[in-house]
Amino acid sequence: MVFPNLYYKRTAATAKACYICYKPTVTVLATIDTADFFYTCPTHLTDHGFATRAPDPEPEPKKPSVSPEEIAKVKEEWERKQRQKKDKEGQADGDGKNGAEGAPKDAEGKEADVGTKADSKQEKKPVVAQGSSTEEPTARPTHERYILHRDIFSLRTADHRRRRQAAQTKNLAPRLPGAPRGSLQ
């Protein structure tokens, strides 16, 4: 199993020996899935021959979120405009055919428009109050990220490979046949 050369700095509760100088330390470098971890002194992290700090990933530009109220408001405006278009088309068709039928439709349409305008004004007030009470979420603190020097990383991968092979050997040993014990005659 190969793990990426990207380690996160974390703090442990108990101090253990540093991987390099064997002094007690609580600073731990670990991969994201903790496949590999080791204790190291904070002074080693400043040494460019040991590890370099990885640049923080650029945060994605925040897309403006649209609330359901705003969606409903825009939808209502669009429907109102569509009704007005149909009314105008109906008036143009009605003027040519019968002017009396167009008048009642306009009166009903205007009453509906007045009602929707009053509703939209009432909706705007709560939306403003809700918008002002929401706060921007604070950025989560992230662990410092480090990339090990290629020689140190090769030591870590070799150590990891050696431990894995030792475990495989230990599991395989009981299944191998034993040496013959009989005497030759």
For residue range 148-167, list pLDDT tens digits in order: 999 999 999 999 999 999 99
Higher pLDDT, 65 or 145: 145
Q: Which among 128, 108, 114, 145 has a CA at the least distance from the CA of 8? A: 145
How far is Cα 17 from Cα 38, in angstroms, rounded to an integer? 9
How far is Cα 168 from Cα 164, in angstroms, rounded to an integer? 6
Would you call 33 helix, strand, or coil by DSSP? coil
How far is Cα 62 from Cα 159, in angstroms, rounded to an integer? 42
How far is Cα 74 from Cα 124, in angstroms, rounded to an integer? 12
Q: What is the Rg, in whole angstroms, of the alpha carbon atoms belonging to the chain? A: 36
Within 10 A of 41 (CB to CB), how many other CB atoms are there?
19
Would you call 161 helix, strand, or coil by DSSP? helix
| Strand 51-53 to 145-148 pairing | antiparallel
Is the pLDDT assigned to residue 138 strictly greater than 70? no
pLDDT at res. 131 = 46
Is the pLDDT assigned to residue 115 strictly greater than 70? no
Residues in the chain: 185
Q: Which among 59, 4, 61 has a CA at the least distance from the CA of 35? A: 4
How far is Cα 5 from Cα 7, in angstroms, rounded to an integer? 7
pLDDT at res. 20 = 93
| Strand 7-17 to 37-39 pairing | unpaired
Residues 48-90: tens digit of each pLDDT: 999 999 887 776 666 667 788 888 899 999 999 999 988 888 8
How far is Cα 159 from Cα 148, in angstroms, rounded to an integer? 15
